[in-house]
Amino acid sequence: MEVLMPEPQIYVERTLALIKPDVVNKEEEIEDLILRSGFHILQKRKLQLSPEQCSNFYAQQFGKVFFPNLTAYMSSGPVVSMVLARHCAVSYWKELLGPSNSLRARITHPHSLRALYGTDELRNGLHGSLSISSAEKEIRFMFPEAISEPVPTGQRARDYLNLYVKPTLLAGLTALCKEKPADPM
């Protein structure tokens, strides 16, 4: 009887997650929820943003009434910045976060992170990227030293695996089978 295994797929989409200053003390609890939701934390750092850095990060909000309060809030204490990865990371993270207004989230999405950890419209506890392109920009902002290369998907990913990964694995496994180490441990 032949067992059919599904062809392996590469699910790599990244998004930025920020734990905001007023809930940094719940970092471990929030990380546990993130991991249990199928995300991988690729990078993580705790940092204190200056008001200028916050202004740059939230530049698309410039000119809105809440902008000064937002930059003051985000620079009021340390934040935890994380790069999360999984299949459809941006949309799954937005779904897990719930609505940006925590008061509305408590009514419409009571199990969302913002309903659980946010306090109001401004202090919603966590940040998530709105799109794949904004995620890449935000990741570069928070992790400037990180190398961000385009990740192949679909046929390009399969071609890469067949051309580079499979031959290397085959050569390594063949060599391992031919030699018996004197002391395997």
In a domain, 104, yes or no: yes
In a domain, 3, yes or no: no
In a domain, 177, yes or no: yes
Both tokens of 92, joined, read 């799954």
**Quick one: pLDDT at residue 11?**
55
- Evaluated on CA atoms 128, 88, 60, 102, the torsion sign reads negative
In a domain, 159, yes or no: yes
**Quick one: pLDDT at residue 9?**
53
- Write the single-letter amino acid at 176: L
* Shared domain check, 107 and 169: no
- Write the single-letter amino acid at 139: I
109 is catalytic: no
* Shared domain check, 122 and 35: yes
* Shared domain check, 164 and 115: no
* Shared domain check, 168 and 136: no
**Quick one: pLDDT at residue 38?**
93
Q: Assess contact for 147 and 138: CB atoms under 8 A.
A: no
**Quick one: pLDDT at residue 76?**
96
* Shared domain check, 89 and 168: no
* Shared domain check, 177 and 95: no
* Shared domain check, 138 and 180: no
In a domain, 5, yes or no: no
Q: Could you read off the pLDDT tens digit of each residue along the chain, which spans 185 residues?
A: 556 666 555 557 899 999 999 999 999 999 999 999 999 999 999 999 999 999 999 999 999 999 999 999 999 999 999 999 998 999 999 999 999 999 999 999 999 999 999 998 889 999 999 999 999 999 999 999 876 666 666 777 777 778 878 888 888 888 878 877 677 66
* Shared domain check, 70 and 24: yes
Per-residue 3-state assignment (H helix, E strand, C coil) for 24-69:
HHHHHHHHHHHHHCCCEEEEEEEEECCHHHHHHHCHHHCCCCCHHH
Query: Which structural domain, as residue segments, surrounds residue 175?
Result: 152-184
Q: Assess contact for 125 and 134: CB atoms under 8 A.
A: no
In a domain, 147, yes or no: no
* Shared domain check, 165 and 104: no
pTM over cut 0.85: no
Q: Which of 39, 30, 31 is nearest to 11 (CA)?
A: 39
Distances in Å between the Cα of 100 and the Cα atoms of 7, 75, 81 are 38, 19, 18
* Shared domain check, 166 and 135: no
In a domain, 82, yes or no: yes
* Shared domain check, 128 and 54: yes
**Quick one: pLDDT at residue 8?**
56
CA distance 148 to 140: 8
Q: 16: exposed, middle or buried (C-beta count within 10 Å: 0-12, 13-18, 19+)?
A: buried
* Shared domain check, 78 and 43: yes
Q: Mention every residue, 6+ apart, whose C-beta is less than 8 A from residue 176.
A: none
What is the count of structural domains for the chain? 2
Q: 112: exposed, middle or buried (C-beta count within 10 Å: 0-12, 13-18, 19+)?
A: buried
In a domain, 84, yes or no: yes
- CATH code of the domain covering residue 26: 3.30.70.141
